Structure 1
Amino acid sequence: MSQMIRAAQILALGQEPDVVTIPAPVTGPGQVLLRMSAAALNFADLLQAQGQYQERIDPPFVPGLEGAGTVIACPPDCGLAPGMRVVVSAPGTLAQVIAVDPGAVQPIPDAMSMEQAAGFQVAYGTSHLALTGRAGLAAGQRLVVLGAAGGVGLTAVQIGAALGAKVIGVARGAAKLAAVRAAGAHQVIDSSACPDLRAALRDLGGADVVYDPVGAEPGEAAFRALHPGGHFLSIGFAAGRPPALPLNHALVKNITIHGFYWGGYRSLAPQALRASMQGLFDLFAAGRLDPVAGDTLTLDRIAEGYALLRQRQSIGKVVITL
């Protein structure tokens, strides 16, 4: 009789996740078996539950795109060993035991907690590879981060500051602005009290790079505050729609617009992903990154975690312990 485990499961599109008991997975040839300690929620999980994500999965399915755990078993010569603490980037991380390919797994620093590691990859990986690999952010440049108190926004603030950029964080409300300042922002803008974001950004010196996980009007306003030769990073659309960017401005001002989807690099350039993650682990080990502790909930409270994301009430990542 197979071992039974607990997991979250989306039983039908448009529904909240349920907590169910299912058989533990059996590893296929060359796979790694992991006992999961924690998994993080991302905005993509909300979209997947609605059937609106670019990588559609038909229900029923176990949600979750990243997490952290311990190796139970692994194939020989894969660079892993039983008992090793690792992060994993793969669909279905919101279960107590999962089976994945070795390429989706990477060891974590000894000083990193499982809760920190669970929400580290997608958010920090997105910001690091977008800022360094696509926008070429350099010390002294001006970086504007929209949604700066969110799961990816705070990481962009931290990484931008660690790279020596002058960071302007845009967020809503005093509590979120305090978190953005603590993450390393040099200047902040309260979007709830700013009727003209473009003017506010220009008053602060404009932008060389805009990091936009929000879209809609905030993305459009920040785009118009870019300097000639600037870079616009389109990370996501938390506001509900993409920004309507005036391409004539991009032409006249020689602005580069980057679409960036971290998960796509698993097939586009997997080595770039692993190299970026190792660089991030090195920054963490050197004390230059401090993952913000967001809401940490038990598996039984996963519907509450989804609600926190949907209502944009979380600061940092929402982590589910398993």
Structure 2
Amino acid sequence: MNKVAIWYRHFGVPEQTLELETAPVESLTPGLMRIRMQLSPVNASDLIPVTGAYGHRIIPPLVAGYEGVGEVITAPETWSHLVGKRVLPLRGQGTWQSLVDCPPEYAIPVPDWICSDLAARAFINPAAALMMLRLYSPEGKRVLLTAAGSDCSLLLGQWALRFGAVSVTGIHRSAAHATRLAACGITSVSQEDAGAIERSASESDLVFDATGGKLATSILQHLPETSTFVCYGLLSGIPFRQHHSRPFVRWFHIRNYLNSMDIRQWHALFSEIWPLLNTSSYSGAVRYPVASWKEAIGFYRESGRSGKPLLIMN
């Protein structure tokens, strides 16, 4: 029996570095659970490590991918009730492969009322959005988002309103996102409208930024001193500059918080995510066979896309 996996054996541009490989299935390490993967999404968090941006803490060769959904085919006796059930095999091996072995205590069972297209994307963006809103409460505040067309930002905006935000404004690159943002109760502002961005920043109490660069620098220059600016990404690839000690700048890296979670807290996180995610607007899924992984990445990079590419692993 063979399995397929998308590997990177050195750092580089993902489209040029990743390789789809076929190899015999290894014996299952005692104590681990084996999952036959169904769907794995393409996220920025999957592609950035391939470039070497995190070369100080990860070393190839590695299988790409950090989330996805699959069916349990083998499990230790304590978890045998999950055989045949869908789970998220997280915090183990890379998920861009047809079989994943993971520690069973970290596998997240998927409720029957969650479809697989949604379950496959229930970790990176939903967990980051929820954890940030718990750390930096939006209640009674005017919230400003960058990269507002992204899945994480879209959830941040919707959930900030549910958690008591006075208003949410989203800065987007493509006009294609404006209608979807409005449907979620989020006021949209074009990234090209410098005046509107400055006005929005001057009226904001809490910023969640995923872009960095000139946009973040401009927002910081116009924010009230009492505001909080949370940086959780650097999609522009350019650092921002803060010219004054205020407003407060905070950094959010999901891995720093996951490492401090015990098993109970880990599962409780998803108990909160499932009902929120199931009642929120989220990008539609666009499926690609695993052999078409380059096309999936190409679609992911398209400006203004409204769908999320999912790799069909079986």
TM-score (norm 2): 0.88
1:277 aligns with 2:274: no
Q: Would you say the 8 A contact 1:295–1:314 is kept in 2?
A: no
Of 80-89 and 90-99, deviating more is 80-89
- Match of 1:161, as an amino acid? L
Question: Cα RMSD between the aligned structures?
Answer: 2.3
> SS of the residue aligned with 1:243?
coil
Q: Would you say the 8 A contact 1:16–1:303 is kept in 2?
A: no
Q: Would you say the 8 A contact 1:150–1:314 is kept in 2?
A: no
State the shift of 1:211 in Å: 0.8
Runs of 4+ in 1 over 3 A off after TM superposition: 54-60, 224-229, 270-274, 308-317
> SS of the residue aligned with 1:120?
coil
State the shift of 1:240 in Å: 0.6
Q: Would you say the 8 A contact 2:11–2:51 is kept in 1?
A: yes
Q: Deviations over 1:233-256 (max 9, x none)?
A: 111100112321234223xxxx3x
The percent identity for this pair of structures is 22
State the shift of 1:223 in Å: 2.8
Q: Which residue of 2 aligns with 1:9?
A: 7
State the shift of 1:279 in Å: 0.7
1:84 aligns with 2:76: no
In the TM superposition, 1:98-177 aligns within 5 A as: 98-132=100-134, 134-138=135-139, 140-165=140-165, 166-177=167-178
State the shift of 1:155 in Å: 1.9
Q: Deviations over 1:92-145 (max 9, x none)?
A: 10111110112331112212121211112100110110111x21221x421111
In the TM superposition, 1:1-322 aligns within 5 A as: 3-14=1-12, 15-53=16-54, 56-78=57-79, 81-90=82-91, 91-132=93-134, 134-138=135-139, 140-165=140-165, 166-182=167-183, 184-192=184-192, 194-196=193-195, 198-202=197-201, 206-250=203-247, 255=248, 257-270=249-262, 271-285=264-278, 287=279, 289-312=280-303, 314-315=305-306, 317-322=308-313
Q: Deviations over 1:65-91 (max 9, x none)?
A: 111111112123348510121123234
2:269, 2:216 → 1: CA distance?
Answer: 26
- Match of 2:276, as an amino acid? L
Q: Would you say the 8 A contact 1:125–1:273 is kept in 2?
A: no
- Match of 1:147, as an amino acid? A
> SS of the residue aligned with 1:89?
coil
Summarize the Cα distance change of 1:180–1:186 in structure 2 as closer, same or farther, 3 Å threshold. closer
State the shift of 1:35 in Å: 0.8
State the shift of 1:310 in Å: 4.2
- For structure 1, which runs of at least 5 residues remain unmatched after alignment? none
State the shift of 1:54 in Å: 5.8
2:269, 2:232 → 1: CA distance?
Answer: 17
State the shift of 1:146 in Å: 0.5
1:161, 1:149 → 2: CA distance?
Answer: 16
Summarize the Cα distance change of 1:213–1:10 in structure 2 as closer, same or farther, 3 Å threshold. same
- Match of 1:114, as an amino acid? S
Q: Would you say the 8 A contact 1:197–1:221 is kept in 2?
A: no
Equivalences, count:
307
Summarize the Cα distance change of 1:24–1:266 in structure 2 as closer, same or farther, 3 Å threshold. farther
Of 49-58 and 294-303, deviating more is 49-58
- Match of 2:309, as an amino acid? V
State the shift of 1:306 in Å: 2.3
Summarize the Cα distance change of 1:63–1:118 in structure 2 as closer, same or farther, 3 Å threshold. same
Summarize the Cα distance change of 1:26–1:226 in structure 2 as closer, same or farther, 3 Å threshold. farther
Q: Would you say the 8 A contact 1:37–1:321 is kept in 2?
A: yes
Summarize the Cα distance change of 1:58–1:312 in structure 2 as closer, same or farther, 3 Å threshold. farther
Q: Would you say the 8 A contact 1:210–1:223 is kept in 2?
A: no
Q: Would you say the 8 A contact 1:25–1:98 is kept in 2?
A: no
- Match of 1:230, as an amino acid? S
1:54, 1:80 → 2: CA distance?
Answer: 39
